[in-house]
Structure 1
Amino acid sequence: MTEFRIGRREVILAATAFAVTPAAKAYAEEEPPIHVVKGRGCECCEAWVDYLREQGFTVTDEVSMGTLLIRFKMDQGIPAKAFSCHTGTVDGYALEGHVPAADIRRLLDERPDAVGLAVPGMPFGSPGMGSADSRDAYDVLLVGRDGSLEVYTSYPAA
């Protein structure tokens, strides 16, 4: 009969394995999923979805084109002047364009009475639009229920 012994090293390795749970998985279990509606073949839309997943969000996505995509944006309450290439929804809020994960988490924590957040256009260096190390300055806007826009977060050029 073979004797099986667990040494100090095995106990430490096992404890470390349990303790080193990825932060992304912990976030994904705590946060509501994001659903993204995007254009077919849009690389920056795909990059933003990948970015959100890397940040720990659970993301589903679907393709919509032309007037159907515009109608979806309008149905979410996004004014035309805030349009970008894709629209996400999370827990009753809309996310238009390349919104950073930190701002999504802040929105979900603060829960303002608003439609959601928008990054109009496609600013270089926003998530999914190239490197943040050399980005253009851009604002994340809070979209009011009346269609008003106010600066929620400003990102300086880098």
Structure 2
Amino acid sequence: MIRRPPLARRALLLGAGAATLLVACAQGAEPLAIQVYKTPSCGCCTKWVEALRAAGLKPSINELDDLTPVRATYGVADTLSSCHTARIGGYTIEGHVPPSDILRLLQERPKALGLAVPGMPIGSPGMEMPGAGAEPYATLMLLDAKGATRVFARHG
């Protein structure tokens, strides 16, 4: 086992952290900025945005009466739709995707359109209900605009 002096170890960690930040900055103006498209009257969307903020993301809100054109632009099939759509780091995020899944997506950078949690599963971020247990749901990786997916994460 090689023992490094504490100072060298810290320098190594700082260098790795700086490299990660540089890569994130190269991929977008602000690494944690996320554009959220939602309807003006949706309360669960507002709660999801609060979950994003709590996770360190910086949401910018765009309120629209109809999100269908946004979903079509970014390749979200109707069968995968939910009540809000977001964009971050070149990826589309559809529905109540947990912030931890978004951060994992940005870290792994797979070849995909983004992530989706179709519908509005009880217990997903923004859909927590007092006294109600969380129902199992999956975060799906969007592979193409035709609706092809694979499971990215399971919850509940």
Length-normalised TM-score, structure 1: 0.75
Q: Which residue of 2 aligns with 1:63?
A: 63
CA deviation after TM superposition for structure 1 residue 62, in Å: 1.0
Q: Which residue of 2 aligns with 1:25?
A: none
Q: Which runs of 5+ in 2 are unaligned?
A: 1-24
What secondary structure, in the 3-state scheme, does the structure 2 residue paired with 1:122 have? coil
Q: Which runs of 5+ in 1 are unaligned?
A: 1-28
Deviations 1:76-97 (CA, angstroms, capped at 9, x unpaired): 1111110000000001000000
CA RMSD of superposed structures (Å): 2.1
Alignment check: 8 A CA contact 1:87 1:94 kept? yes
Deviations 1:108-147 (CA, angstroms, capped at 9, x unpaired): 0111111000000000000000159820000000000253
Q: Which residue of 2 aligns with 1:24?
A: none
- Work out the CA distance in 2 between the residues paired with 1:145 and 1:135: 29
Q: Which residue of 1 aligns with 2:74?
A: 76
Task: Give the letter for the 1:72 counterpart.
Answer: V
Detail structure 1 runs of 4+ shifted over 6 Å in the superposition: none
Deviations 1:28-83 (CA, angstroms, capped at 9, x unpaired): x98330010001110001000111001111110011112xx101011111111100
Q: Which residue of 2 aligns with 1:9?
A: none
Is 1:113 matched with 2:111? yes
Larger radius of gyration: 1
Q: Which residue of 1 aligns with 2:31?
A: 31
- Work out the CA distance in 2 between the residues paired with 1:142 and 1:105: 13
- Work out the CA distance in 2 between the residues paired with 1:54 and 1:104: 13
Task: Give the letter for the 1:137 counterpart.
Answer: P
Length-normalised TM-score, structure 2: 0.76
Between Structure 1 and Structure 2, how many residues are aligned?
Answer: 127
Instruction: Out of 112-121 and 124-133, give the one that drifted further.
Output: 124-133
Identity of aligned residues (%): 40
Alignment check: 8 A CA contact 1:94 1:117 kept? yes
Alignment check: 8 A CA contact 2:122 2:135 kept? yes
